[in-house]
Amino acid sequence: MFTEWGVLTIISLIAFYLFVKLFYFKSITIKEQRGNDMMKITLREAELLVRKYQIQLQRTIGNIDIVTEELTKVRGEIKGLKQRNSKYRMESERLNQKIRDLESRIDALL
């Protein structure tokens, strides 16, 4: 009778131990699934952010190309303005010399 009671107690303890382990591992599995789900959500959000910044970068690169074209146009216009400015200065100097010559003639006549 004592041996039966001992065997039954050992079997009951083993069953209780396995039952507790079952729920322990089940709770660990549930926590890991939650962690995996959160990781999947985080990865999706990261992918969305990467796509968003990639689109912004492409737009910026496009804008840089536009700015470069505009700068090239402006540089050409500035060169043209410098050339016209130098022509106008030479013309102005020539006209100033002519005015001085005419003033000297007028002074000579008076």
> Which domain covers residue 14, as residue numbers?
1-85
How far is the C-alpha of 56 from the C-alpha of 38, rounded, in Å? 27
Q: Is residue 101 a part of any domain in this protein?
A: no
Coil, strand or helix at 67: helix
Q: Is residue 100 included in any domain, yes or no?
A: no
Q: What is the pLDDT of residues 23-37, one digit of tens each?
A: 999 999 999 999 999
58 lies in some domain? yes
Q: State yes or no: pLDDT of 110 exceeds 80.
A: no
Does residue 96 lie in a domain region? no
Residue 4 belongs to some domain of the structure: yes
DSSP readout, 14-56?
A: HHHHHHHHHHHHHHHHHHHHHHHHHHHHHHHHHHHHHHHHHHH
Q: What is the pLDDT of residue 36?
A: 93
Per-residue confidence (pLDDT) for residue 70, from 0 to 100: 87
Stated pTM of the model: 0.46
The total number of structural domains that make up the chain: 1
User: Could you report the per-residue pLDDT of 43-80, keeping only the tens digit for each?
Assistant: 999 999 999 999 998 888 888 888 888 889 999 999 99
Query: What tokens appear for 12 in the block?
Result: 């009951």
Q: Take residue 58 and report the two structure tokens written for it.
A: 């492409």
- What does the pLDDT average to over 1-13? 90
110 within a domain of the structure (yes/no) = no
- What is the number of helices (H) and of strands (E) in the chain? 1, 0
pLDDT given for residue 99 in this prediction: 92
Q: What was the pLDDT predicted at 64?
A: 85
Residue 62 is assigned to a structural domain of this protein: yes
Please give the distance of CA 69 from its chain centroid, rounded to a whole number.
22
| pLDDT band for position 108 (cuts 50, 70, 90) | confident
